[in-house]
């Protein structure tokens, strides 16, 4: 069997395994659920009432969106004082944090499926 064919078959099998892990087996949804719970718990440490946290569900992504009443200082902090966004960024696995009322000029959301497939292809 030619090496190129072996590599192609290996790549296709790795991509299929990644897709099955992410979708039909539900690991992608469980990861996002866990990250959302952890981010909500971290944001609660800011002791600022009315702040809501949600992670992207369509597509599944590790991007956190915060909403609620907070001024710029409360959102981003000052000097050594943490802002609400910093608490969310502290959660291992969160790729980006934005506020719902900010313009969409921030980083693009990369879907969890794309991340998984890219890692599988690199492996």
Nearest residue to 67 (alpha-carbon basis) of 81, 79, 82, 85? 85
Q: How confident is the model at residue 104 (pLDDT cuts 50, 70, 90)?
A: low
Q: What is the pTM of this model?
A: 0.79
Instruction: Report whether 118 contacts 19 (CB < 8 A).
Output: no
Q: How confident is the model at residue 106 (pLDDT cuts 50, 70, 90)?
A: low
Q: What pLDDT sits at residue 39?
A: 96
Q: How confident is the model at residue 69 (pLDDT cuts 50, 70, 90)?
A: very high
pLDDT tens digit sequence for 13-43 = 888 887 888 778 888 899 999 999 999 999 9
């Amino acid at each position: 069997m030619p090496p190129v064919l072996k590599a192609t078959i290996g790549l296709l099998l790795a991509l299929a395994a990644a897709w099955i892990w992410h979708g039909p087996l539900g690991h992608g949804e469980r990861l996002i659920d866990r990250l959302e719970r952890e981010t909500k718990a971290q944001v609660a440490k800011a002791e600022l009432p009315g702040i809501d946290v949600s992670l992207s569900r369509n597509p599944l992504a590790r991007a956190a969106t915060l909403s609620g009443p907070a001024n710029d200082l409360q959102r981003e902090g000052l000097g050594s004082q943490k802002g609400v966004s910093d608490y969310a960024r502290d959660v291992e696995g969160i790729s980006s944090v934005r506020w719902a009322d900010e313009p969409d000029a921030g980083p693009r959301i990369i879907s969890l499926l794309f991340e998984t497939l890219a890692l599988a292809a690199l492996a």
